[in-house]
């Protein structure tokens, strides 16, 4: 099934929101793709949709990255040259309630993965980190030298993985490791066939607005309108998921030059307020988004946006899609599949 002339990439968490968009880009960029995902926060329908969009096959293995034997078997069965590691748990609130599940999946799972990689002689890894590692800093725009910290178990898992991967690289400089700190990934593939599909009521802004627009939720609660920002609502750096995954291809090219450990922000550098997003979404969808002002959400900072200069220069990457395009693509997906992959399958 796989083309032996093409390099093979393992995508952990490839059935998820960002991972599925990554698989589309990889298949369209002439890679063979193997996905490992335990489907704890996704559906195999996304993997089928990826193959429909690209008209190319991929290998899907249902499995857990905490299962060492399964990972070893994957590396024995496929000539994997690099790993794009998206698998993990990502809900901040849930991480406060179930910290051990987060430490196990995100930290132990990643340790397992790098052990299997080392055994197989595959030492190229791109890790999904997060702007959450900038903690409660008020120094936006953040560049990669900003001191890091964490305020919740989810953030601590990202920080700890970043740290042990740096230790691993220091102990064995043959590793090629890219730590990508995502700002706020939103939007969907322009085909409208894949997108973000939260299991329950969305925690994040864009999927919440999309579900209000499609009539699944009555109104948006805006968490605070008294922040020291231009309109009082929180400011974030929203980045289109397709731009984001293209940054991973650039990161892999950067690692191909020579072994290194590199850290890059993936953001646009442009901050938008909650109200900016509401208005952009209303404009592209033609649907009114009712909202109420609510209490600030604990743990939120007033503003968070990237200094993307390092990724611009070293990776030759910059985001192309603007906020309206992000809303347009999020809306197309939500409109096509109001119930997400449950409806698509």
Name the site residues for ligand UD1 (rule: CB under 6 A).
90, 92, 130, 132, 155, 184, 203-205, 208, 220-223, 234, 236, 274, 297, 299-300, 304
User: Catalytic residue at 291?
Assistant: no
Residue 182 interacts with ligand NAD (CB under 6 A)?
A: yes
Query: Min. distance of Cβ 223 from ligand UD1 in angstroms?
Result: 4
335/10 Cα distance (integer angstroms) = 31
Residue 321 neighbours by CB under 8 Å, 6+ apart: 187, 240, 242, 243, 329
Query: Min. distance of Cβ 155 from ligand UD1 in angstroms?
Result: 6
Query: Min. distance of Cβ 190 from ligand UD1 in angstroms?
Result: 21
Annotate 101-120 with b (16+ C-beta within 10 A) or e (fewer): ebbebbbebbbbbbebbeeb
Selected from 8, 9, 10, 13, the binder of ligand NAD by CB under 6 A is 13
Chosen from ligand NAD, ligand UD1, none, partner binding at 39 (C-beta under 5 to 8 Å by type): ligand NAD
313/317 Cα distance (integer angstroms) = 7
- What is the token pair recorded at 109? 């799972």
CA angle 125, 92, 248 (to 5 degrees): 25
# residues contacting ligand NAD (CB under 6 A): 27
Nearest alpha-carbon partner for 71 in 17, 16, 109, 126: 109
Residue whose CB is less far from ligand UD1, 234 or 308: 234
Which parts of 33-92 interact with ligand NAD (CB under 6 A)? 36-42, 64-66, 86-90
Q: Which listed residue (154, 208, 238, 321) is catalytic?
A: 154
C-beta neighbour count of 98 within 10 angstroms: 15
Q: How far is CA 199 from CA 17, 43, 341, in A?
A: 12, 10, 10
Query: Min. distance of Cβ 299 from ligand UD1 in angstroms?
Result: 4
List of residues contacting ligand NAD (CB under 6 A): 13, 15-19, 36-42, 64-66, 86-90, 105, 109, 128, 130, 182, 185
């Amino acid at each position: 099934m796989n083309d032996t002339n093409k390099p093979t990439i393992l995508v952990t968490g490839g059935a998820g929101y960002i991972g599925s968009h990554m698989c589309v880009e990889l298949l369209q960029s002439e890679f063979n793709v193997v996905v490992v995902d335990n489907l704890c926060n996704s559906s195999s329908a996304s993997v089928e949709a990826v193959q429909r969009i690209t008209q190319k096959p991929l290998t899907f293995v249902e499995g857990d990255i905490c299962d060492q034997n399964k990972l070893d078997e994957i590396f024995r069965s496929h000539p994997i040259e690099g790993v794009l590691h998206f698998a993990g748990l990502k809900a901040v609130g849930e991480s406060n309630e179930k910290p051990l599940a987060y430490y196990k999946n995100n930290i132990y799972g990643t340790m397992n993965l790098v052990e299997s990689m080392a055994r197989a002689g595959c030492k190229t890894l791109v890790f999904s980190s997060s702007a959450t590692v900038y903690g409660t800093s008020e120094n936006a725009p953040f560049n990669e030298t900003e001191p890091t910290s964490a305020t919740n178990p989810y953030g601590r898992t990202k920080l700890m993985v970043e740290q042990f991967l740096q230790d691993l690289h220091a102990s064995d400089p043959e590793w090629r490791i890219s730590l990508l700190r995502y700002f706020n990934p939103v939007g969907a593939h322009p085909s409208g066939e894949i997108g973000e599909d939260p299991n329950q009521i969305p925690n994040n802004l864009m999927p919440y607005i999309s579900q209000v627009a499609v009539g699944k939720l009555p109104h948006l609660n805006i968490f605070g309108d008294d922040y020291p920002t231009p309109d009082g609502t929180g400011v974030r750096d929203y980045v289109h998921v397709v731009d984001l995954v293209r940054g991973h291809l650039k990161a892999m090219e950067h690692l191909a030059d020579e072994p290194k450990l590199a850290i890059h922000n993936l953001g646009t550098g442009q901050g938008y307020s909650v109200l900016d997003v509401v208005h952009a979404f209303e404009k592209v969808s033609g649907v009114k988004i009712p909202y109420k002002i609510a209490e600030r959400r604990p743990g939120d900072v007033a503003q968070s946006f990237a200094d993307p200069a390092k990724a611009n220069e070293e990776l030759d990457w910059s985001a192309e899609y603007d906020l309206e395009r992000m809303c347009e693509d999020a809306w197309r997906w939500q409109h096509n599949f109001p119930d997400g992959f449950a409806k698509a399958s």
